[in-house]
Structure 1
């Protein structure tokens, strides 16, 4: 039976980030507690271990910004790997690019996929039935370690915060495997936390990606339901900062269907580095 209306909160370091609504489903998987809520403001949403992941009327703030800078700048986009992303939003945005011929998505928690399909079908949209889409319910870290060299044009990490099942997505060994998987001209993308709520994690990620790939830059935007509302995505490539400028032809195919991302928005987001963050990253 659904809980009565009230407030659903994520509590992080003395601050509550909440939505008015109610829990409509909750269950412990082998990895984490999965919660589906129905909110007054943002529609149905997903929490993992009490942390906000996505909601129907917030998800574009996140998924468009993670996907399009990478897929509009890699030399090719025929083969894409998404690690995590069990709600389907990242895969959906990737598959809007007609150049994608094969997309592997590796999500560790089958319950996240099942409930996203059941309760949040608009987020994944048509990705689940797209013949280019190939889902593996399993360990994305092991997948990256075992996949052949130069097997993907784009690698995207759509993981939760660096704890629990996502903890291994934030270390040198994993990033080195992701670099190994890239074809020449490839691009790596990851969510890289809030520069306010997770400042030290964010700085450490960007520094480490620069060491591993040679070139990496954070891009700043907003996801109002997340801690602080201020978020980041970091892009990396071995052959230069190709992710800074989207290909105009590829961008034109997807831009009209976007709510947040555009080439202009992207250029501004890469430039919106706060002074203190820039100083810390350049030390």
Structure 2
């Protein structure tokens, strides 16, 4: 919104989710339509530069740690090995940044369907990816993640991270059985799989369906709860899975020491509490699987 004297005034940028709105007072930077979705970059008063896809909040520079630390470190501090990492989605670079903090990581394949998300994030959200775009361990693959995992050999990755948007549009297929089955096939037995699994309040059915689906395909799977204040309801979840044991519950001290000084949110105590913070009503449903 431009005032009469030519000064841009902040206005409310809202995500409409069901019967609720979640908004930030912001100014627009860019709105661009890719072949897959509308990509919006805004400058919010509270959280700095942020990203929306098809009108849904994805991330913002002063709050992204709530999401990226939660999806990465419970997996990378606990997998048997972290040499080979796969990220599906994550075109803003935040998840790759957290993965590449570990010197043990030899390669990160980042498979993002929408190359424009990567391009605009590099240009307008440089604090998220930081220097990862130039790290030789990172391989950018602009491709449909569903098609990509079908081509990967068995037992190929130590950690698989599904950093996707809501289960609509280009991300819809990342929440179905065949995709999760392929992820299990290409995960090394000592590895960890993780995905964002929506809000247990705003998206209760999707959340429960996602956890139950993953539990039906992996020997061990558990949801972890935290907060991302800009997301619908502010209450969010990530689900971790493994083939051999609940290894995602037990961070390795040497890995903790590698990243603990760079984290704003994550530490082993926070992680333990986040896994334990399962609401009783959800625990009852999952116990009956």
Question: How far 1:4 sits from its partner (Å)?
Answer: 3.9
| Separation of aligned partners in 1, 2:41 and 2:175 | 26
Matched, 1:18 2:23: yes
After superposing on structure 2, the runs of 4+ consecutive aligned residues of structure 1 that deviate more than 6 Å are none
How much has 1:184 moved relative to structure 2?
A: 2.2
Equivalents in 2 of 1:281, 1:227: separation in Å? 22
The answer to whether structure 1 residue 69 and structure 2 residue 74 are counterparts is yes
Match status 1:52 vs 2:57: yes
Partner of 1:21, secondary structure, is: strand
> SS state of the match for residue 166, structure 2?
coil
C-alpha distance in 1 between matches for 2:177 and 2:263: 33
| Structure 2: gaps (5+ residues) | 3-7
2:260 is aligned to 255
TM-score normalised by structure 2 residue count: 0.96
Structure 1 SS opposite 2:282: helix
**SS at 1:235's partner residue?**
strand
Q: How does 1:48-197 map to 2 (within 5 A)?
A: 48-197=53-202
Q: CA deviation at 1:240?
A: 1.3
- Checking the alignment, whether the CA contact within 8 Å between 2:160 and 2:187 is kept in structure 1 is yes
In the alignment, is residue 33 of structure 1 matched against residue 28 of structure 2?
no
TM-score (norm 1): 0.98
Aligned match of 1:277 in 275, 279, 282? 282
2:255 is paired with a residue of what secondary structure?
A: helix
The CA distance in 2 between the partners of 1:70 and 1:183, in whole Å, is 13
Q: Name the SS for the 1:75 alignment partner.
A: coil
C-alpha deviation, 1:25, in angstroms: 0.1
The one of 240, 257, 262 equivalent to 1:235 is: 240
Cα displacement (A) at 1:15: 1.1
- Structure 1: segments with no counterpart, 5+ residues: none
- Using the alignment, how far apart are the partners of 1:193 and 1:58 within structure 2? 17
What CA deviation, in whole Å up to 9, does each residue of 1:76-118 have, x standing for no partner?
0000000000000000000001110010000000110000000
Equivalent pair of 2:189/2:242 in contact (CA under 8 Å): no
- Equivalents in 2 of 1:242, 1:159: separation in Å? 23
**Residue aligning to 2:5:** none
Give the match for residue 212 of structure 1: 217
Bigger mean CA deviation after superposition, 11-20 or 165-174: 11-20
